[in-house]
Amino acid sequence: MKVIVIGGHGKIGLLLGRELSRRGDQVTSVIRNPDHAEEVRATGATELVLDIERAYGPELEPALTGFDAVVFTAGAGGGDPERTYAVDRDAAIRIMNAALVAGVQRFVLVSFAKADTRYLKPLDDPFYPYQVAKIAADEHLRESALDWTILGPGALTLEPGTGKVAPLDHPISGDTSTARANVAAAIAEALAQPRTIGATLNFCDGDLPVDQWFAAVDG
């Protein structure tokens, strides 16, 4: 499978490049800073320098053409509401639209477990823009004609990956720690499992092998 990863130099993106390359997929990782190319190549992926914050259809569509799947795991990293909206919402939506024009039907979006209006923080909470941006991107993808999967991990950590998760159902509470390596494993498995198409899958670290869970999903 030819996969393009948006956010290829992020912590999840680097782990995903290595995981997909290990599985035999051909991976292109989109990065903004060319200085990060060597780290991307070390995962087995090929770099593509493209600033998704400023790229629109005429630039995005040719960049996506020829791929079998798009994975969006980019993020502004919080702190700046304007940039959060620009990356986590606007760029994500532009890339979804461009994928359709480019003929790339499969789309996996990394969101977060509480991307739901029932968990919205007050307007003056610094986390509010991130929530709103993610909810808007998720909804746009659900309403699109793409073959989509939305993955909603809990609080991200740098713990070693186990390949095992615990599905989360609303309402979500308690410890939702999720190793980024497990998110990367979940992305790779979602791409390999057609049953995840049309599903929003919230999870944290647990005891259920992600391949077993996704093999039984009814999208």
Confidence (pLDDT) at 46: 98
Beta carbons within 8 Å of 178's beta carbon, 6+ residues apart: 113, 153, 154, 155, 156, 157, 165, 203, 204, 205
How many domains does the chain divide into?
A: 1
Binned at pLDDT 50, 70 and 90, residue 56 comes out as very high
Query: Mean pLDDT throughout 81-85?
Result: 96
Q: What is the CATH number of the domain that holds 125?
A: 3.40.50.720
Average pLDDT of every residue of the chain: 97
Give the model confidence (pLDDT) of 116-129 as tens digits. Answer: 999 999 999 999 99
Name the residue range of residue 46's domain.
2-215
Give the model confidence (pLDDT) of 134-147 as tens digits. Answer: 999 999 999 999 99
d(CA 85, CA 76): 8
**Beta carbons within 10 angstroms of residue 188's beta carbon:** 25
